[in-house]
Structure 1
Amino acid sequence: MSESSVHSSVIRSPHPDVEIPDVSLYDFLFASLDDADLGRVAVVDGPSGAATTYGELRDRADAVAGAFAARGLGVGDVVALHSPNVPAFVAVFHGLLRAGITVTTINALASGREVAKQLESSGARALVTVGALLPAAEAGADAAGLAPGDVVVLDGADGHPSLVELLAGGHAAPDVAFDPRTHLAVLPYSSGTTGLPKGVMLTHRNLVANVLQTEAFLPLASDDVVPAVLPFFHIYGMTVLMNGAVYQRATLVTLPRFDLAEYLRVVEQHRATVLFVAPPIALALAKHPAAADRDLSSVRILMSGAAPFDEQLAAAVGRRLPGARVLQGYGMSEMSPVSHVVPVDRPDVSPGTVGMLVPNMLARIVDPATGEPVTQPAEGVSAPGELLCAGPNVMVGYLADEQATRDTLEPDGFLHTGDVVTVDADGAFTVVDRLKELIKHKGYQVAPAELEALLLTHPQIADAAVIGVPDPESGEVPKAFVVRAGDSALTAADVQEFVAEHVAPYKKVRAVEFVEAVPKSAAGKILRKELRAR
């Protein structure tokens, strides 16, 4: 492919570029707080109603920074944050970043085995968790070689320091210096386009850029109220909900888990204005009779992301929320995460598309078979091809995995998404398929390779393969194809119970089929297409 053909096929955002300041995420969000902001409510604990103002949030973040600095942690160190959505998450997250520490967020549903793997992979020197998650946290920390004193339990637990104890020292936030363009702010774990979970290296500049890139499409204001049920440990919740709302001085109402009745209560009671959801929540809002009995008239925007959201579901949600714009966005952890959004001021753009490129973003579409460029048409819709994106929000690479980084990032900075898309003449993209093997279950990523590796540790399993199968409520569920060892009498229930003991609930195998052999290529690669064809 010639260099000229590559450049001619580059698709640019229809919006002008935004200027990205060369500052840390903490300074970007908190340095501009004025007197009017200090008394404004930043975070409300959904279950209790306890409120934290912006002034209190900043002071707590500073105190957290001082406390961890006093423990000898700072620039170059990694600390794991393992918590559901609670107000303290926001203060601790930004306090760690204020101290120059890199934060690796761990899924609140992770098993002890999964916690240990992420602690070891990221090199975390401490773990911050909550009492409800302590069994998995303790098991993981112990396996990774962390001492009990290195495990901070926000709400307190015997044998571990609590947040109150840490802050009692009254240590001032340290003076730190680092380059926001290169210093890692966060290390979320993603399976990328394929394979096992990998640490996604995102800098302060990556996160600052993505907040500003999404602002143009999703204008929040200081009088907006945003229920925060999408987890902050996930990049969608971290950037779009937490950081985006803080930047705009909106009010977050945290919910530690999704419960429809509680979610509806919060929306109604707090007069929520902007809902960020994944498709399963949108489905509940559209179809569950409980939603019909609530006053949801305060909602002005519903944004769905993290998994495919079709036009029919968008229309059904719109009927339940007649005063709201129903939108969709697209992204991945490797892009901090947002690359595309349906603009709030473009009713002509179907919510069944993932919208337009956000500012400062470039895209290419290539034929996955030939690598030839697919051009944006002057009218109508393009041919399908793999989406590649470039912009200031694209990751540095995968932690300690040069091969995976090279496989995903082109030398010119374009990132392979693994998704097959089309683009129309107006610049609206639609996801039509995906090259990658990841299973998307309720917005969570499930790597087949991870489940396969686990299954192969079972003494009665000779071979195994996992694929995603469609499910109307959760998008996809993992299905295992299992080859029994010898004359084993292993049952499907045995397989499901074994997996459930070792993984987070969203990774559970929901269906099992016993086969004589797993179909593989000459190179030994599992032929998932053949399994899907069954």
Structure 2
Amino acid sequence: MVIRSPHPDVEIPDVSLYDFLFTGLTDDDLARAAVVDGPSGATTTYGELRGQVDAVAGAVAARGYRPGDVVALHSPNVPAFVAVFHGLLRAGVTVTTVNALASGPEVAKQLRASGARGLVTVSPLLAQALEGADAAGLPRDAVVVLDGAEGHANLRDLLTAGAPAPDVTLDPATHLAVLPYSSGTTGLPKGVMLTHRNLVANVLQAEPYIPLTRDDVIPAVLPFFHIYGMTVLMNGALYQRSSVVTLPRFDLAEYLRIITEHRATVLFVAPPIALAVAKHPLAAQADLSSVRLMMSGAAPFDEHLAGLVGQRLPHASVTQGYGMSEMSPVSHTIPVGRDDISPGSIGLLIPNMQARIVDPATGEEIHQPAVGTSAPGELLCAGPNVMVGYLGDEQATRDTLTDDGFLHTGDIVTVDADGAFYVVDRLKELIKYKGYQVPPAELEALLLAHPQIADAAVVGVPDGTGEELPKAFVVLAEGAELTADDVMAYVAAKVAPYKKIRLVQFTHAIPKSAAGKILRKDLRAA
């Protein structure tokens, strides 16, 4: 059974991302603030940004890069990221974004895998960048350091090169715009091939459910190098002519300062940030009255946490969305204003999307019910935002994309009669205990509801007999005094016997990616 979006399809123009975002700027738009540097307050208007994008495109072409070449962009969220990212795309270059936390060997691996001919970085990351470039055989003159470093071109050099932007003709449906790296449903990171059309489509698909305005101010703390930050924060905001305030890293005090001083209106976050806003004493003292919307994504966001955020932001809509790099990334979200949908839901299919739910054991299709909620199964999605495949990995592409264009997400979901989807858990993260499937996200949500627990994660660990035991890693709130027995008893009183926590380890922090996902492999190795 194919489940379709309840919203009518939107028209997707056959244009490049640059044309989509920048060619329609009006005279009024040109003077509006496009990007603001959070730490300094320096402002770049839309007119200035378009000029920078064109200048970078000209400089890139003058340096010998041609359509189809790959250049790596290795930077935290700074205004220059926006200009360089779009300048590269304007020149027909494909951008592979590198995690700002990547080690030298990880940078090298991505440079080699993507076939990158150049690398753009910043001085605080230069040691890792050069280690990676050297290991990948990239010459030093192919490394640009935006804020300057001896022996390397910098942003000023690109902006003042004086070369005109090249006249590039490309097919938006086939020309690769970006190559983010994702593990998909299984295995090692792979290059996700996303076209200009994929990115243009996803901005337009998300807009009816996440309407931004010219008056919105959006703190950009989720990294632009991650597809959520790239599409929803950067490109979505630029399309709507909103103002983006960049933060190079998450610091709660600085984040709250930005919200207060800039009168921020929309917060795109991952659950750890939502948790900080909900529970940290600093947030209780901050003026958050300007916020009209908080949307969480990138990891499970349960109804209890949404309720806590709602208490802190009583005048704001609190929603969540769902997606993955392979879908550019958004496929579902709760439309703003749909208070009838539980905040624990990932929401409705966005326009132009189709979905199927399949029993992972039998392969049989699970139908959307006329009343109530369906049985759980793996979510498969199709739409104009779905990737064309994994770079250089035909087998992984075949394993992930069906012949009729549906993407295996690896997530187990249910759907109700109204079209609201709920994630049970990731297929690969389910803990097998005595033949039962134990979803970590359910136990994590329960632990986070405890007033003395600041953060938590649950993984399955082998017990030597072939079984997996659910193990909780717990960060206590300041001043809390819980024992392992206290934690296990608390959970045991609220779940079926097979879902009990069997082991507890207290820790100072839960390891997470820059996008907010729990790094379960690190916990399993602890």
TM-score, normalised relative to structure 2? 0.84
Match of 2:245, SS? strand
Q: 2:366 aligns with which of 369, 374, 379?
A: 374
- Please report how far the alpha carbon of residue 169 of structure 1 lies from its aligned counterpart in structure 2 after TM superposition: 1.7
Specify the alignment match of 1:396 in structure 2.
388
* Residues 265-284 of structure 1: pairs in structure 2 closer than 5 A: 265-284=257-276
Pairs aligned (count): 461
- SS for the counterpart of 1:90 is helix
CA–CA distance in 2 between the matches of 1:382 and 1:232?
36
Give the C-alpha shift of residue 435 in structure 1: 1.0
**Distance in 1, Cα, partners of 2:455 & 2:185:** 20
Q: Deviations over 1:120-176 (max 9, x none)?
A: 000000000000100100000000011111000000001211111232221110000
Report the Cα distance in structure 2 between the residues aligned to 1:110 and 1:291, rounded to whole angstroms: 30
Change (3 A) 1:237 1:475: farther
Does the alignment pair 1:97 with 2:89?
yes
Report the counterpart of residue 495 of structure 1 in structure 2: none
CA shift, 1:258, in A, is 0.3
Moved more, 247-256 or 163-172: 163-172
Deviation string 1:427-460 (CA, Å, 9 cap, x unpaired) is 0000012213599xxxxxxxxxxxxxxxxxxxxx
The match for 2:522 is: 509
Question: Residues 169-196 of structure 1: CA distance to partner in whole angstroms, max 9, x if unpaired?
Answer: 2111000011000000000000000000
Deviation beyond 6 Å, 4+ runs, structure 1: 477-483, 503-506
Q: Which position in structure 2 is the counterpart of 1:287? A: 279
- CA drift of 1:26 comes to 0.5
AA at the equivalent of 2:402 = E
Is 1:83 the counterpart of 2:96? The answer is no
Alignment-mate amino acid for residue 345 of structure 1 = G
Partner of 2:171: 179
Residue 45 of structure 2 is aligned to residue 53 of structure 1: yes
Residue of structure 1 equivalent to 2:104: 112
Aligned to 2:17: 25
Match in the other structure for 1:347: 339
Q: Secondary structure of the residue that 2:428 maps to in structure 1?
A: coil
Of 70, 74, 78 in structure 1, the residue corresponding to residue 66 of structure 2 is 74
Sort the Cα spacing of 1:187 and 1:477 in 2 relative to 1 into closer, same or farther, 3 A: farther
Shift of residue 481, structure 1, vs aligned partner: 7.5
Per the TM alignment, residue 476 of structure 1 is displaced from its structure 2 partner at its CA by 3.9
Aligned pair 1:313/2:305, yes or no? Answer: yes
Secondary structure of 1:138's counterpart equals: helix
Cα distance in 2 between the residues matched to 1:101 and 1:436: 35
* 1:74 Cα deviation from its structure 2 partner: 1.9
Cα offset, 1:511, TM superposition: 6.0
Q: Does 1:216 align with 2:229?
A: no
Q: Please, which of 403, 411, 415 is the counterpart of residue 403 of structure 2?
A: 411
- Paired residue for 2:327? 335
> C-alpha distance in 1, partners of 2:231/2:59?
25
Q: Which runs of 5+ in 1 are unaligned?
A: 1-8, 440-466, 484-499, 514-534
Q: 1:361 to 1:512 in 2, by over 3 A?
A: closer
Structure 2: distance between partners of 1:479 and 1:85: 34
Distance of 1:511 and 1:387 partners within structure 2 = 26
Question: Which amino acid in the other structure matches residue 137 of structure 2?
Answer: G
> Contact 1:109 / 1:504 at 8 angstroms: preserved in 2?
no
Match of 1:225 among 217, 231, 237: 217
Aligned partner of residue 108 in structure 2, secondary structure: helix
Q: What does residue 205 of structure 1 align with? A: 197
Query: 1:190/1:67 Cα in 2 relative to 1: closer, same or farther (>3 Å)?
Result: same
Q: Contact between 1:477 and 1:509, CA under 8 Å: does it hold in 2?
A: no
Task: Provide the C-alpha distance between the structure 1 equivalents of 2:430 and 2:249, rounded to a whole number of angstroms.
Answer: 23
Question: Equivalents in 2 of 1:86, 1:474: separation in Å?
Answer: 29
Q: Percent identity, please.
A: 75
Give me the whole-angstrom Cα distance separating, in 1, the residues matched to 2:69 and 2:303: 45
- Cα deviations across residues 62-100 of structure 1 (Å, max 9, x unaligned)? 000000000110211000000000000000000000000
Q: What is the DSSP-based 3-state SS (H/G/I as helix, E as strand, rest coil) of the residue aligned with 2:96?
A: strand
- Closer, same or farther: CA 257–174 of 1 in aligned 2, 3 Å: same
Kept in 1: contact 2:296–2:321 (CA 8 A): yes
Matched, 1:123 2:115: yes
Preserved CA contact (<8 Å) 2:334 2:345: yes
- Shift of the 71–296 alpha-carbon distance from structure 1 to 2, 3 Å rule, reads same
Mapped to 2, the partners of 1:138 and 1:14 lie a distance apart of 49
The match for 2:142 among 139, 146, 150 is 150
Determine helix, strand or coil for the equivalent of 1:436: helix
Q: What SS class does the counterpart of residue 65 from structure 1 fall into?
A: helix
Structure 1 residues 135 and 183: alpha-carbon distance in aligned structure 2, compared to 1, 3 A threshold: same
Distance (Å, rounded) in 2 between the aligned partners of 1:436 and 1:152: 39
When residues 198 and 325 of structure 1 are mapped into structure 2, their CA distance, relative to the original with a 3 A threshold, is same
Distance 1:252 1:282 in 2: 19
2:273 alignment partner AA: I
Contact 2:218 2:242 in 1 (8 A): yes
The 2-side partners of 1:129 and 1:474 are apart by 33
Offset of residue 509 of structure 1: 3.0
CA distance in 2, matches of 1:232, 1:479: 32
* Inter-partner Cα distance in structure 2 for 1:504 and 1:350: 23
- Contact 1:105–1:188 at 8 Å: present in 2 too? yes
Structure-2 residue corresponding to 1:62 = 54
Deviation at 1:29, TM superposition (A): 0.2
SS of 2:75 mapped into structure 1: coil
Q: 1:197 to 1:41 in 2, by over 3 A?
A: same
Q: 1:477 to 1:109 in 2, by over 3 A?
A: farther
Task: Provide closer, same or farther for how the CA distance between residues 287 and 245 of structure 1 changes in structure 2, counting only shifts above 3 A.
Answer: same
Which amino acid in the other structure matches residue 334 of structure 1?
Answer: E
AA aligned to 2:522 is V
Are the equivalent residues in 1 in contact too, given 2:270–2:515 (CA < 8 A)? no
After superposition, the Cα gap between the structure-2 partners of 1:335 and 1:475, relative to the gap in structure 1 and judged at 3 Å, is farther
Alpha-carbon RMSD: 2.3
Q: Which amino acid aligns with 1:384?
A: P
SS at match of 1:29: helix
- 1:509 alignment partner, SS class: helix
CA distance in 1, matches of 2:428, 2:196: 28
Higher alpha-carbon deviation: 196-205 or 343-352: 343-352
Deviations 1:270-310 (A, max 9, x none): 00000000000000000001001111000000000000000
C-alpha separation in 2, matches of 1:425 and 1:136:
50
Q: TM-score, normalised by structure 1?
A: 0.83
The aligned amino acid for 1:413 is G
Secondary structure of the structure 2 residue equivalent to 1:330: strand
Q: 1:468-491: per-residue Cα shift (whole Å, max 9, x none)? A: 9968566648898899xxxxxxxx
Post-superposition shift, 1:269? Answer: 0.5
What does the per-residue CA deviation read over 1:373-405, in whole Å, with 9 as the maximum and x for residues that have no partner?
100001110000000000000000000000000
Equivalence for 1:234: 226
Contact 2:76-2:248 within 8 A present in 1 as well: yes
Unaligned runs of 5+ in 2: 432-439, 449-453, 465-510
How far apart, CA to CA, are the structure 2 residues paired with 1:128 and 1:363? 38
Task: Specify the SS of the correspondent of 2:275.
Answer: helix
